[in-house]
């Protein structure tokens, strides 16, 4: 039987719509794809535009993370039972540990080559904190045909954390490919004709309202700036229906004393574009970030950005070109970053205007991946 299927192992598929955008473009290039999507929410099989998705519903338990080898074995067994692996020519594992370990098992059992992505969680949580799993990560990296990083900062964190001996064994297989953004952002690129700040500045955040995104420290920084004489409003978009976590309660408590904060529910892209165009700056100094597509979405609407030093898109653009990196744990650092954007707003805007946002088009990114797929 002809081996013509590309198999994706993707533990984040059930919660991140980005992957379907990627798989759709890969399908348009003539690839037959199967997706194994372990997660907590769905089971069964669906097909989208010719991409067959197998949902493996995992037990929602802390033990699943602690007992990593058990999770790994369960996913491997599910794949063995669900698929005819003789038809699979290549596996794309979308994380080093949760997906890559299973891809490595398939490689050992069936000699199916694989490529693997290394994400922020792989380095910051699995490698640094779950040290007993490091040897697994080394095996996955050494046997992969290609190793992908989403950003330069992601790669730099990896290079600092992993032993030089391992890096020397794999460095010729490393590529940095960014994620792409929805085509609606590209088709509706927007730049203000007159980039002048009004007397009241509108700062926006859009995404999950969780502690990692550091919304409270941004609010504290804005409070400091308002005390210094600025007039800044902070618009936070991303509330889910009936979401009332302890972190959100803290934000709402802060909001009661500081009415410059406004909170809005999650919105579709058309509404988000409107919110972005009514804003002056995007600020998201996450504590940990693999890439952060929302930074690119903000840039597509002409907004300067504040991002985290050593995380996400830091290093993608020369410092000061589109905004500034800050220390997420230091409110004063966030204050200084926002002030620098305000003082250099016109020059930053002029540079954003010339950016090639279309390098984040999934069509172009899929072509790069497809070239690698064909060479393996």
What number is the average pLDDT over the span 6-28?
93
Given a contact cutoff of 8 angstroms between Cβ atoms, the answer to whether 88 and 373 are in contact is: no
**In what side-by-side order are the strands of the sheet with 5-9?**
44-48, 51-57, 32-39, 5-9, 88-93, 114-118, 146-149, 174-176
Question: According to DSSP H, which parts of the chain are helical?
Answer: 18-28, 62-66, 68-82, 100-110, 120-121, 128-129, 134-143, 152-161, 164-170, 183-187, 215-227, 246-257, 269-277, 293-300, 331-343, 345-353, 362-375
pLDDT for residue 66: 64
Given a contact cutoff of 8 angstroms between Cβ atoms, the answer to whether 153 and 136 are in contact is: no
**In what side-by-side order are the strands of the sheet with 323-326?**
261-265, 232-239, 201-206, 281-283, 305-308, 323-326
Q: Is the pLDDT of residue 88 over 90?
A: yes
The pair of structure tokens assigned to 354 is 């010339």
Q: Is the pLDDT of residue 124 over 70?
A: yes
| Secondary structure (3-state) at 178 | coil
Confidence class for position 1, pLDDT limits 50, 70, 90: very low
Report which DSSP code applies to 183. H
Q: DSSP readout, 327-348? A: -TT-HHHHHHHHHHHHHTHHHH
CA–CA separation, 270 and 251 (whole Å): 26
CA–CA separation, 285 and 292 (whole Å): 10
Best CA proximity match to 316, nearest among 158, 156, 174: 156
Confidence class for position 126, pLDDT limits 50, 70, 90: confident
- Cβ neighbours for 200, distance < 8 A, ≥ 6 positions apart: 231, 232, 233
Q: DSSP readout, 261-320? A: EEEEE---HHHHHHHHHT-SEEE---SS-S--HHHHHHHHTT--EEEETTSTTBTTB-TT
CA–CA separation, 65 and 30 (whole Å): 36
Given a contact cutoff of 8 angstroms between Cβ atoms, the answer to whether 14 and 97 are in contact is: no
CA–CA separation, 241 and 72 (whole Å): 33
CA–CA separation, 101 and 119 (whole Å): 14
Whole-prediction pTM value?
0.88
Confidence class for position 279, pLDDT limits 50, 70, 90: very high
pLDDT for residue 332: 97
pLDDT for residue 161: 86
The pair of structure tokens assigned to 213 is 């995104």
What number is the average pLDDT over the span 36-57?
86
pLDDT for residue 193: 73
Q: What is the mean pLDDT of the chain?
A: 92
pLDDT tens digits, one per residue of 181-237: 999 999 999 987 767 788 899 999 999 999 999 999 999 999 999 999 999 999 999
The pair of structure tokens assigned to 230 is 């600025």
CA–CA separation, 176 and 331 (whole Å): 31
The pair of structure tokens assigned to 201 is 């500045």
């Amino acid at each position: 039987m002809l081996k013509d299927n590309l198999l994706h192992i993707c533990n984040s598929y059930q919660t991140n719509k980005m992957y379907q955008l990627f798989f759709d473009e890969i399908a348009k290039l003539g690839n037959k794809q199967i997706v194994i999507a372990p997660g907590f929410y769905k089971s069964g099989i669906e097909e989208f535009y010719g991409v067959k998705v197998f949902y493996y519903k995992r037990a929602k338990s802390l033990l699943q993370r602690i007992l990593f080898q058990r999770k790994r074995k369960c996913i491997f067994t599910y794949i063995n039972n669900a698929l005819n692996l003789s038809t699979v020519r290549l596996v794309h594992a979308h994380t080093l540990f949760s997906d890559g370990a299973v891809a490595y098992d398939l490689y050992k059992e069936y000699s199916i080559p694989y490529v693997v992505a290394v994400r922020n969680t792989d380095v910051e949580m699995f490698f640094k904190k779950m040290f007993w799993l490091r040897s697994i990560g080394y095996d996955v990296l050494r046997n992969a045909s290609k190793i992908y990083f989403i950003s330069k900062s992601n790669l730099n964190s990896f290079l600092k954390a992993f032993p030089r001996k391992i890096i020397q064994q794999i460095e010729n297989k490393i590529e940095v490919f960014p994620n792409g953004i929805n085509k609606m952002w590209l088709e509706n690129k927007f730049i203000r004709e007159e980039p002048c700040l009004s007397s009241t500045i509108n700062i926006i955040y859009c995404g999950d309202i969780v502690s990692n995104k550091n919304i409270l420290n941004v609010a504290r920084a804005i409070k400091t700036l308002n005390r210094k004489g600025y007039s800044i409003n902070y618009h936070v978009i991303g509330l889910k229906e009936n979401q009332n976590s302890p972190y959100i309660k803290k934000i709402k408590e802060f909001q009661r004393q500081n009415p410059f904060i406004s909170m809005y529910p999650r919105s579709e892209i058309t509404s988000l574009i409107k919110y972005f165009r009514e804003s002056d700056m995007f600020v998201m100094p996450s504590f940990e970030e693999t890439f952060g597509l929302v930074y690119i979405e903000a840039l597509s609407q002409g907004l300067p950005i504040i991002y985290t030093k050593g995380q996400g898109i830091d290093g993608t653009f020369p410092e000061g070109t589109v905004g500034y990196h800050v220390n997420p744990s230091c409110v004063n650092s966030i204050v200084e970053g926002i002030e620098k954007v305000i003082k250099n707003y016109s020059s930053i805007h002029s540079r954003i205007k010339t950016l090639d946002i279309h390098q984040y088009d999934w069509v172009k990114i899929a072509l790069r991946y497809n070239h690698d797929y064909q060479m393996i």
